[in-house]
Amino acid sequence: MSAGPVPLEAPGKRWQLVTTAALAVVVLPLFLPQVFSAASFLPHSFCYLGNSSLITLHVVSDVLIWLAYVAIAATLGYMVWRGRETIPFNWMFLAFGFFIVACGFTHLLEAITLWRPVYWLAGYLKAVTAVASVATAVLLPPLVPRIIAHTRAAVASEQVRAELAASNKELEAFSYSVSHDLRAPLRAIDGFSRAVLEDSGDKLDEQGQADLKRVCAAAKRMGLLIDDLLTLARTARSEMNRTRVNLSQIAQEVATRLQTTNPTRQAEFKIAPDLIVEADPGLIRVVLDNLLGNAWKFSGTKPNAVIEFNWQKQDNEVVYFVRDDGVGFDLKYSEKLFAPFQRMHDEARFPGTGVGLATVQRIIRRHGGRIWVEAAVDQGATFYFVLAGK
């Protein structure tokens, strides 16, 4: 007897039951006394009166059926093995496979008994086939409603996927419009206000000039807001490409860039070396850009500020953190810290749009991770984050 379908590591115990039952009905008859005995029976070919055409017809047909059934069962077994995580009711396919193999061997025995009258073996094999057929026949009907439900669910989820793809496309068109059409008027507001200041500034009093400068500042601020919103939107729709990423290296690059924006500032970056994770390199850069950028910004009023990027083990998880010893904030008001446009400090002292941490949180969540914060007024802030493994 063939080994039957390939054993598999499918969830659920049904397939184990099926395989065990199959093995039992195959192996047990072999211990019966007369199984291989041909006794004094006549070979089946006698029934065909030795007619060679008739015998050939039976032999060729039976052997072909046997080969085909074994091949079909092997294909089913292979399919269940390959799709063991996704194919529903895979134990059912194994039951089918076994039943088909058993059928195949009854045909093989038909051919063998033409010359070797092992009718007991043939009979036992038929009994095994009967058990497998009956079992399959009994197991199948209760599955029908579940299989139908499964197919419907698959169709429905395909619809949801298509709708999602369509709305993603729409969102893409929308953010394209935002990035293009909303910025153009801002350029005009800023540009022509400046033109007035340059060409006819002398006709304006001090107040008028100051007001016009505020118009320019507001336009620039709205430009920043649009850019940050676009980044936020992009983090939601961009594809994730997880690879090995050296967080320390990115952090170092961000730190170097921050230091060149203000070379005279005395601040120290302590970056732990070689922190390697599986993450999307582009998105994780946005995270470190924002967290280190914030740390740099909110420790700006402090001489000799220290900004740290490191990790610690906490409840068996690797937790990364970015710590600064800057102005900090009252945790009481941190509830909405990660919502867009929420700010803890006044715009004049610490400029920003309030979109950065919302973007960071979204990226961390897309990586299956979490982010949280510890802070106190005038005692700095520490942002912790976890990136889930693949």
Partner 1 sequence: MTQKKILLVEDNADDADLTLRALKKNKIMNEVVVAKDGLDALAFLFSATEPRELPGIVLLDLRLPGVDGLEILRRIRADERTRLLPVIILTTSREQEDLLGGYRNGCNSYIRKPVDFSEFLVAVQQIGAYWLALNESPA
Binding site residues, partner 1, CB under 8 A: 175-176, 179-180, 183-188, 190-192, 194-195, 216, 219-220, 222-223, 227, 230
* Amino acid symbol at 39: A
Give the span between the Cα atoms of 22 and 263, in whole angstroms.
Answer: 77
Burial classification of residue 259, based on how many CB atoms lie within 10 Å of its CB (0-12 exposed, 13-18 middle, 19 or more buried): middle
Helix (H, G, I), strand (E, B) or coil at 363: helix
Other beta carbons less than 10 A from residue 105's beta carbon: 22
For the bound state, the minimum distance from the C-beta of residue 167 to partner 1, rounded and expressed in Å, comes to 18
Please count the helices (runs of H) and the strands (runs of E) in the chain: 9, 7
- Chain centroid to CA 65: how far? 43
Sign of the CA dihedral with 299 first, then 300, 304, and 310 last: positive
User: On the CB side of 387, how many CA atoms lie within 13 Å of its CA?
Assistant: 25
Of 315, 312, 322, give the one whose Cα is nearest residue 371. Answer: 322
- When the beta carbons of 1 and 197 are compared against partner 1, the nearer one is 197
Of 67, 52, 60, 131, give the one whose Cα is nearest residue 99. Answer: 131
8 Å CB contact between 323 and 308: yes
**Residue count (the chain):** 390
For the bound state, the minimum distance from the C-beta of residue 184 to partner 1, rounded and expressed in Å, comes to 6
Helix (H, G, I), strand (E, B) or coil at 126: helix
Other beta carbons less than 10 A from residue 245's beta carbon: 20
Burial classification of residue 39, based on how many CB atoms lie within 10 Å of its CB (0-12 exposed, 13-18 middle, 19 or more buried): exposed
Give the span between the Cα atoms of 124 and 130, in whole angstroms.
Answer: 10
